[in-house]
Homo-oligomer: A and B are copies of this chain.
Amino acid sequence: MTGMARTAHRYRTLATQIAATIRAGALRGGHRLPSVRHLSRERGISVTTTLAAYRELEASGLVEARARSGYFVCRNHAEAPVPRAPRLNPRAPVARLSVSPGIEALMVSMRDSTVLPLGAATIDAALLPARSLNRLMATLARESAAAGATYGPPQGVATLRQQLANRSLTWGTAIPADGFVVTVGAMEALNLALRAVTRPGDLIALESPTYFGVLQVAEGLGLRVIEIPCASGDGLDLDHLAQVLRAQPVRACVASPNFHNPTGSCMSNESKERLVRLLARHDLPLVEDDLYGDLAFDGTRPSCAQAFDRHGRVLLCGSVSKTLAPGYRVGWVAAGRYQARVEQLKFSHTIANATLPQMAVAEFLSTGRYDRHLRSLRATFAVQVQRMREAVTACFPEGTRISQPQGAFFLWIELPPALDTMALQQAALRARIAVAPGPLFSASGRFGNFLRLSCGLPWSARVSAGIARLGELIDAQLARARPRRR
Q: With A148-B327, A150-B326 in contact, is A356–B137 under 8 Å at CB?
A: yes
A148 shortest CB reach to chain B, Å: 4
Do residues A148 and B130 form an inter-chain contact, with CB atoms below 8 A?
yes
**Interface positions of A from 163 to 206, Cβ below 8 Å from B:** 184-185, 187-188, 191, 195, 199-201
Separation of A147 and B133 alpha carbons in the complex (Å): 10
Type the 1/0 row for A311-344, where 1 means its CB is closer than 8 Å to any CB of B: 0000000000100011111000000000000011
- Closest B residue, CB atoms, query A188: B350
Do residues A151 and B327 form an inter-chain contact, with CB atoms below 8 A?
yes
The segment from A77-85, A103-111, A412-420 found at the interface with B is A103-111
Do residues B134 and A327 form an inter-chain contact, with CB atoms below 8 A?
no
Do residues A150 and B134 form an inter-chain contact, with CB atoms below 8 A?
no
Separation of A154 and B131 alpha carbons in the complex (Å): 22
Do residues B148 and A133 form an inter-chain contact, with CB atoms below 8 A?
yes
Type the 1/0 row for A96-126, where 1 means its CB is closer than 8 Å to any CB of B: 0000000110010011000000001011011
- Which residues of B sit under 8 angstroms from A148, Cβ to Cβ? 130, 133-134, 137, 325-328, 357
Enumerate 29 A-B pairs (CB-CB under 8 Å) in ascending A order. Answer: A103-B344, A104-B344, A122-B151, A125-B149, A128-B149, A130-B145, A130-B147, A130-B148, A134-B142, A134-B147, A134-B148, A137-B356, A138-B138, A138-B139, A148-B325, A148-B357, A152-B327, A185-B350, A185-B351, A188-B349, A188-B350, A191-B348, A195-B220, A220-B348, A222-B222, A328-B354, A329-B350, A329-B352, A329-B353
Residue positions of A touching B, CB distance < 8 A: 103-104, 107, 110-111, 120, 122-123, 125-126, 128, 130-131, 133-135, 137-139, 141-142, 144-155, 184-185, 187-188, 191, 195, 199-201, 213, 216-217, 219-220, 222, 321, 325-329, 343-345, 347-357
**14 more A-B contacts (CB under 8 A) besides A137-B138, A147-B327?**
A103-B347, A107-B343, A110-B153, A128-B149, A130-B145, A130-B148, A133-B148, A134-B145, A138-B141, A138-B142, A148-B325, A219-B348, A220-B345, A329-B351
